[in-house]
Amino acid sequence: MTSKPGRASLAALAVAQTLGTAAVGISLTASALTVASMSGSAAFAGLAQSATIVGAGALALPISRLAARWGRSVSLTFAYTVAFAGSGLAALGAAAGVLAVFLVGMAGVGSGTVAGLALRFAAADLAPDPAKRPRYIALILWTASVGSLIGPPLTAIALKGGSPSGPFLLIALLYGLAILVVALTRFRASGDPDDTERRKARTGAVGKRFPPAARVAITVSTSNHMAMTALMGLAPVFLDGGG
């Protein structure tokens, strides 16, 4: 049976996930249109999503190492803080019309994607027994879909002010709230016996080669995400042009 602190922590992670995926939804919708407007060509619209993915890839390993060394709270707070700073920089770049600054900011926003992926592992850590981990992860995945539905409509609201930086300031607000939620969340203590065993397992796995099944899974996941990001990154430009 899940303890009250455990349920409260799981609910907090669900809120953080909703905030984060809403920010991602705004980013996907607004960033491509912003780049197309700043560059003067829809052909470059995909640069925004490319910058976000590059940033996420570059930050994934440092953030995971922070989690292994200092715990979930530190790593998630760091990830959301980088995303907060990145969205602020993107807002500055959009307002100033400087594409390079905007893309660097979007790379920082990619840290929010890493945080969203890491939240499911943080949720699994909260499960009172291994049999309940899938249920905990499923809740986080479900709340991610809720945030993804909320994000795009918020973009339209943010753009009503007429400022190109509006959506990215809203993203910064959402990530700022996520920082607050994560900071107030109780995670598993670093001295917990189960946590110690997991760290030993991770340490022992360093340097080992991936088994064939893992390689296939990585290849399939990479291919799927290439198709998904290409579609999601350019769909706003297509729709903005009237389909």
The C-alpha R_g of the chain, in whole angstroms, comes to: 19
For residue 9, what are the contacts with CB-CB under 8 A and spacing of at least 6? 126, 185, 186, 187
Task: State residue 201's pLDDT score.
Answer: 47
Task: Express as a percent the part of the chain with pLDDT over 90.
Answer: 40
Return the residue matching tokens 């590059």. Answer: 54
pTM to 2 decimal places:
0.82
Residue 70 phi, psi dihedral angles, 5° rounding: -120, -10
**Domain region containing 27:** 4-240
Residues 78, 182 contacting (CB under 8 angstroms): no
CATH number of the domain that 176 lies in?
1.20.1250.20
Task: State residue 86's pLDDT score.
Answer: 97
Task: State residue 158's pLDDT score.
Answer: 84
What is the mean pLDDT of the segment spanning 84-108?
96
Residue 207 phi, psi dihedral angles, 5° rounding: 90, -15
Give tens-digit pLDDT for 119-164.
Answer: 998 988 888 788 888 899 999 999 998 988 888 888 888 878 778 8
What is the mean pLDDT of the segment spanning 28-43?
85
Label residue 208 by pLDDT band (50, 70, 90).
low
What is the mean pLDDT of the segment spanning 105-119?
94
Task: State residue 190's pLDDT score.
Answer: 44
The chain-wide mean pLDDT, for the chain, equals 83
Lowest mean per-residue pLDDT among 45-54, 162-171, 185-194:
185-194
What is the mean pLDDT of the segment spanning 193-221?
63
- SS3 (DSSP) at 42: helix
What is the mean pLDDT of the segment spanning 46-57?
89
Task: State residue 206's pLDDT score.
Answer: 46
Does 106 or 8 have the greater pLDDT score? Answer: 106
Q: How many domains does the chain have?
A: 1
For residue 139, what are the contacts with CB-CB under 8 A and spacing of at least 6? 10, 14, 123
| Other C-beta atoms lying within 10 Å of the C-beta of residue 241 | 9
Task: State residue 229's pLDDT score.
Answer: 66
